[in-house]
Amino acid sequence: MSKVNQKEAVFAAVTNVLSQAGHNMTENEDVAPLMEGKELRAQVSQILLEGFTTGTIELKEGYDTAKLKMYTSSVLSNWLRKDTRLNGGVKYVAKNPGSRAGAGDEQLKAIRLVKSTISVDDPRYADVVAAEATRMSELQAAKVKPVEINLSALPTALATLFSK
């Protein structure tokens, strides 16, 4: 039995619940206002929860019941925001792109924690901001993959600039 991906499961569940509530969805309709009521949202969440529990919806890791309920709510919110069939046909754009950059780095977490505990008027604040910028640069540099350039494929004038 093949599993349904989460995006398609959310779309099917929302469509089903809204249809049962007497609302015929139109293509690329923004359904978020309809899902603000707790009743319809709870019905969709229940369908998704059952799908995760029975294994009919893709789920990469195991969750206990309480965490699975929270995860289900997050999945629903995510796809209501990102699926153009449910959000009015709007391409999703992150509100704060890059805001989670370095979130997995312990050193950067510690620097940001220190930064959050001191005032901008503190004489150490500039040093903390500089340390944060330095660490972000290090993390970005670690992501850069080495590129091998075939100098013989470049025009001669350009190849001589890079052959040194």
Asked if the model's pLDDT at residue 1 lies above 70, the reply is no
Question: Do the beta carbons of residue 111 and residue 102 sit within 8 Å?
Answer: no
Task: Give the CA dihedral 100, 92, 15, 65, nearest 10 degrees.
Answer: 0
Model pTM greater than 0.75? no
The encoded tokens of residue 4 equal: 């349904």
Domain count, the chain: 2
Burial bucket for residue 85 (CB in 10 Å: 0-12, 13-18, 19+): middle
Q: How far is 14 from 80, CA to CA, in rounded Å?
A: 9
pLDDT, tens digit (0-9, with 9 covering 90-100), for 23-39: 888 878 898 888 877 89
Same domain, 17 and 53: yes
- Listed in sequence order, the DSSP H helices in 85-124 are 106-117
Looking at the structure, tell me whether residues 77 and 117 fall in a common domain: no
Asked if pLDDT for residue 102 goes beyond 80, the answer is no
* Rounded Cα distance, 72 and 6, in Å: 10
- Asked if residue 58 lies in contact with residue 6, where contact means CB atoms within 8 angstroms, the answer is yes
The residue segments making up the domain with residue 133 are 106-143
Same domain flag for 123 and 74: no
